[in-house]
Structure 1
Amino acid sequence: MKLNVGLLGGGSWGTTVASLTARNTDTTIWARNEDTVTEINEHHTNAKYLPGALLNKNLKASTSIQEVVENADVLIMGIPSQHFRQVLREAKPFIRPWIPIVSLAKGLELGTKMRMTQIIAEELPGHPAGVLTGPNLAKEIHNGKAAAAVIAMVDKTIGKELQGVFNSGLFRVYTNTDVIGCELGGALKNIMAIATGMGDGANAGDNTRAALITRGLSELTRLGTAMGGKRRTFAGLAGMGDLVATCSSSKSRNHHVGFQIGRGKSLDQIIKEMNEVAEGVKTAKAVMELAEDYKVDMPISREVYKVLYEGNTVNDAFMGLIKLESGSEQEPG
């Protein structure tokens, strides 16, 4: 039986996922912008976010949340984390009972420090909540490059069913029951991408990038496991895989932010010039609070936070990390 998919959010990744699921099943995407909706329906493109990409011709678009949601058997949330709850509340009156809700966001809500599946559970108790995550750069997928992702749901049966909704040609989807670990891996790696971007922008070199990625993985694993994620998850696609892709690619928004800071631009200027959200900028605030709550030392995240919010320079950040006493690689720290 084919499932009707409703997807909220017309950015690059939301549009990419909608185009992928449209290959397998009836999919309708919601976007606020009427021009975007008209463009998707009439030209099968979304030039603002995916220049040059041709979307699946079966994909339909609408400016009406009700139209997209009321017949959906699966709801996918392609909404940035700071607007996630608000849009979910708008959709709430039209969501059918018990349907799975899958988040694409890789961030944490400011103030509550909640993951998106926690927001779903709070706003819509009883709905199976999961996340699609992994090393997935939207523009590469549209260019026909192979990629792998993880659909994380606590219920194995639902995860297996949704695997078939997302699996598409060169886009391979694996299942995982560790929703906490998968979700945290996606959120925390964005801060490490800003750090490596800073290094690349300042011409720190390949060795520095490798060290930041490796120690960054150790750092996000410490917090992730303290919060209930499984260590093995952070060595997989949702952890190391996503970390490597985001920290190494100029197509990554968070790496871009760090790179421009490394080149001397101000954060305000960088954000103003971007038409998409770099989740790591705001997630850095929530992560510093969580590190304190769980008593986990996160030196890289701390230095990134100081650059973003306390006026430190990239040089200050690197000096701060160099001054740290290096212990055993097998021990936390």
Structure 2
Amino acid sequence: MNKVAVIDIGTYSTRMLIASYQLKETLEESIKTIKDILSLGKITSLGKKVQETGYIQQESMLETLTVLKEYVMMAKEYKVENIIASATQACRIAKNASEFLLKVKSLGIDVSVISGEEEAKLSFLATAYGVMPESSFVVIDQGGGSTEFAYGKKEDEKYKLIKAISFPFGIVNLTEKYIKSDPPKEEEINQMRKYLKEQIKIAYQDMKDTKEIIGLGGTITTVMALEKHIYPYDSSKIHNQILTFEAIDRWLNKLSKMTIQERKAIPMIEDKRAEAIISGIVIFHTAMQIFNADKIKISEYGLRHGRLIKYIADKLNLDLGV
């Protein structure tokens, strides 16, 4: 039994998965042995004001490093063979990203900045093998600084990625750019929606034949927790579940009329997420409208599981093209 810690250093949150696996003859057989041991996530807002200033703020950097130190201690307690990490949009664009990454590496974390396309491919891999759709599907991985759309289908018992697009919008930069009022004005949300429509239509042109939409990220899992009254959070009650467009529309209307403080008072919404959740819901709401989708399936398998699958593939000397 092998154990590894996989960390996702996102623009909005920093998450760690400790999982066990066994190497088998094929990647598919090896993936089936993966077992989640521990899954953690904290909102660290690494990308706060990066779009505006070009730099990771010192406060956000320190908060993220503090969380990473805790993760390293936990990983060592579980005696993992390796601690690997992916950094995404904030570290792609920040002028002081190299300073931050050096500090991360000094903690004993093997970290790499992945491109938006790589992020989309990894999320596709994880979702494909985590949800196992039977036909064509689009994965929407909504993050803090970028959102990935990946389109693929099942062929000969394997999943084939057809198209992947990474857009430079997420809940952090959308909130900073468009939402100036508390609660947000309808005009602010409409301006955001107008921008998103222009972007998402680009993905739709190449992905319109999809039979299924699958959503990843803290926003969509939070909406599911709200809809199903799940508290405390339980990923087993979220993964592979269905949210209707009607439910997303209802929660968008309800939450957008609340102040940040009122949203914070809802147990299912983390304090920091209360500030940016509206933008996240608008992303999914707009995407479902453009794709004419009346429902979306939720996946708990995202970038961390994708990175784990790539890690196993590397050990098997397989090239996944990521």
Please, what TM-score do these two structures have when normalized by structure 1?
Answer: 0.30
The structure richer in strand per residue is: 2
Please, what TM-score do these two structures have when normalized by structure 2?
Answer: 0.31
User: Which structure ranks higher in relative contact order (CA pairs < 8 Å, sequence separation ≥ 6)?
Assistant: 2
The structure richer in helix per residue is: 1
